[in-house]
Copies of this chain bind each other. A is one copy, B any other.
């Protein structure tokens, strides 16, 4: 049901353009000339906001689009075989969702909103085609994918070599950095995900997450109240995250 020519106020909300988006310096069009942004903007489809718990797409659905997060946050869950679900990623504003579906043209996980979340839908065939004419866009796309690969490697290192304490510390540092880059406080933020999500993501039991957050609080590294986090000693947390504990 496409919006009529004279859209009502509710539809206007989704008419925002890349040119006016505060994330444009982090998002795909980051390297584009103003005239090119117009072209890019033209292929974007705005979406009605997702409410908490609503899914953007489900595992196994046909891949058609990648999505740029505009506000809010999402998680990606992959259930494989009879095993439990694995939380493979959290997505924050300006990040691209769905790049891992290009190869076999099926989304490899279910992506769900952790809070009220708005995304821009970017049909991939049009993105691909546009990337032919706009080398900067193509480069940015390659970079996004490459970066995600690098982040994955970092995650593998976390999962295979780090202790539970180091994982939690890394997780908090990672969030802090991502918030900072997006213009939010690096020291004070709200976790949009549950302890269970954190545990699932980090390969830890919920109880372990809880215990360690408690311990961090005792050690004056952070103060945690429910989902509100305050980082009290960033550098200590950083050295913990890098496994400097044995120094």
Residues on A lying within 8 angstroms of B by beta carbon are: 78, 80-84, 86, 88, 99-104, 108-109, 128-129, 131-132, 135, 138-139, 141-150, 152-157, 159-161, 202-203, 242-244, 247
Contact = CB atoms under 8 A, between A and B. Distances in A.
Contacts of A104: 147, 150
A193 to B, nearest CB: 16
B243 A102 contact: no
Copy number of this protein in the oligomer?
A: 2
Contacts of A157: 78, 80, 83, 86, 88
Given A80-B242, A104-B150, 14 more contacts: A83-B242, A84-B161, A100-B146, A102-B145, A103-B142, A103-B143, A103-B144, A129-B135, A132-B132, A138-B138, A149-B152, A152-B156, A159-B159, A160-B203
A161 B86 contact: yes
Contact of A203 (B78, B99, B159, B202): B159
B243 A103 contact: no
A149 B109 CA distance: 12
A219 to B, nearest CB: 21
A242 B145 contact: no
27 contacts: A80-B157, A81-B243, A82-B244, A88-B156, A88-B157, A100-B146, A102-B143, A102-B145, A103-B142, A103-B143, A103-B146, A108-B153, A109-B153, A128-B135, A128-B139, A128-B142, A132-B132, A132-B135, A132-B138, A138-B138, A141-B142, A142-B145, A152-B152, A152-B156, A155-B156, A156-B156, A159-B160
A149 B148 contact: yes
A94 B108 CA distance: 23
A25 to B, nearest CB: 16
